[in-house]
């Protein structure tokens, strides 16, 4: 498999596989286990709750995996809300091993653009090609685009058929945590410049550099010791820009929630703990006004 952030995509896939098999699953991703199995070097990673003896008390494959399941559910709901409202153009930034183009019940006419590094997309395509043709066929028109999101990428998106005159649902589910602050700000500039009225943008950020107590939390230690992912080293250490304020100044309506708001709303998922690595995470949903009002943000499903 690929190193660095690409390996975190595999970790999230394993988490989604575990979540899919829970009796109270928040999200279902029947492709996730296949992606992990295709990366043969990681064959000992758990793919089912029964493979995690400590259950949700396990910091990595319990608590963190459940967090990724919750995040998947909330962002799934948001995209489907936009599709149901008439949006037909979706852009997934840092798509990783996300399988939304294949697994979500898209209405006819939807296009999902997936942007990520060439190595990640190549691995994903090899895994999809190994499936039965029926399973490998996406339920929306899927357009993978190799791109470095720290640099210019909008020309590649436009060349692939993206239409800036149509409303777009943009998503950066687990991207900004790893980007330099300047790249995050530039990405906001591009999204704003290429969004028609009725567009939305859903993304995740960390509010600040974490304290030493949080950086020593069991989640980070377990990821480093057990699967060789130093998540803290992957996070950009510089102060983060205030993207919510930036979008608001440009005319976007924004709502920001802590993940635990959604745990409480859905009645399952992780709840806050002291010195928790998840406490600084925020999920923002932004909407650009239509002529006849604002699109829904999809937070009530």
Domain boundaries, the chain: 5-288
Mean pLDDT over the full length of the chain: 91
What's the Cα-to-Cα distance from 29 to each of 72, 87, 132, 197, rounded to whole Å? Answer: 9, 23, 16, 31
Structure token digits, residue 22: 């829970």
Q: What is the pLDDT of residue 58?
A: 95
Distance CA 217, CA 121 (A): 32
Distance CA 67, CA 60 (A): 10
Dihedral of the alpha carbons of 225, 94, 77, 1, in degrees to the nearest 10: -50
pLDDT in tens, 42-59: 568 999 999 999 999 999
Q: What is the b/e burial string over 164-190, where b = at least 16 CB atoms within 10 angstroms of the residue's CB? A: eeebbbbbbbbbbbbbeeebbebbbeb
φ, ψ for residue 171, nearest 5 deg:
-145, 135
First and final C-alpha spacing in the chain: 35
Distance CA 105, CA 19 (A): 19
Alpha helices, H only, 49-180: 65-84, 100-103, 118-129, 133-136, 154-159
Q: What is the pLDDT of residue 292?
A: 42
How many other CB atoms sit within 10 Å of the CB of residue 143? 18
Q: What is the pLDDT of residue 295?
A: 55
Q: Which CATH number fits domain 5-288: 3.30.70.270, 3.10.450.50, 1.10.150.120, 3.40.50.150?
A: 3.40.50.150
Where are the strands (E) in 107-251, listed by range? 111-116, 141-146, 168-172, 200-206
Strand partners, 143: 113
How many other CB atoms sit within 10 Å of the CB of residue 131? 14
Q: What is the pLDDT of residue 43?
A: 64
pLDDT in tens, 180-190: 999 999 999 99
pLDDT in tens, 101-127: 999 999 999 999 999 999 999 999 999
What's the pTM? 0.93
Low-confidence ranges of the chain (pLDDT < 50): 1-2, 292-294, 300-301
Structure token digits, residue 262: 């959604």
Residue 174: closest CA among 2, 1, 7, 3: 7
* Residue 212 C-alpha from the chain's centroid: 26
Q: At what angle do helices 65-84 and 5-20 cross, to 10 degrees?
A: 80
Q: What is the pLDDT of residue 1?
A: 47
Q: What is the pLDDT of residue 166?
A: 98
């Amino acid at each position: 498999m690929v190193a660095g952030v690409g390996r975190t995509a595999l970790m999230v896939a394993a988490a989604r596989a575990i979540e899919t098999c829970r009796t109270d699953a928040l999200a279902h991703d029947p492709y996730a286990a296949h992606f992990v199995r295709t990366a043969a070097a990681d064959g000992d990673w758990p793919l089912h709750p029964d493979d995690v003896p400590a259950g949700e008390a396990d910091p990595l494959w319990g608590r963190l995996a459940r967090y990724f399941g919750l995040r998947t559910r909330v962002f799934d709901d948001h995209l489907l809300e936009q599709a149901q409202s008439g949006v037909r153009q979706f852009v997934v930034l840092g798509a990783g091993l996300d399988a939304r183009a294949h697994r979500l019940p898209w209405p006819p006419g939807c296009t999902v653009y997936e942007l990520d590094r060439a190595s990640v997309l190549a691995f994903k395509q090899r895994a999809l090609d190994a499936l039965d043709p029926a399973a490998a066929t996406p339920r929306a028109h899927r357009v993978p685009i190799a791109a470095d999101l720290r640099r210019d990428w909008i020309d590649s998106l436009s060349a692939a058929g993206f239409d800036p005159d149509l409303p777009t649902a943009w998503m950066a589910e687990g991207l900004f945590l790893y980007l330099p602050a300047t790249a995050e700000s530039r990405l906001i500039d591009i999204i704003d410049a290429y969004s028609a009225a009725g567009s939305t943008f859903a993304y995740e950020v960390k509010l600040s550099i974490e304290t030493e107590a949080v950086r020593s939390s069991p989640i980070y230690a377990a990821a480093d010791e057990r699967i060789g992912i130093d998540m803290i080293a992957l996070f950009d250490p510089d102060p983060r820009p205030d993207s919510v304020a930036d979008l608001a100044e440009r005319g976007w309506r924004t709502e920001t929630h802590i993940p635990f708001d959604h745990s409480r709303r859905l009645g399952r998922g992780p709840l806050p703990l002291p010195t928790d690595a998840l406490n600084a995470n925020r999920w923002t949903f932004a909407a650009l006004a239509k002529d006849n009002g604002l699109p829904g943000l999809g937070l009530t499903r």
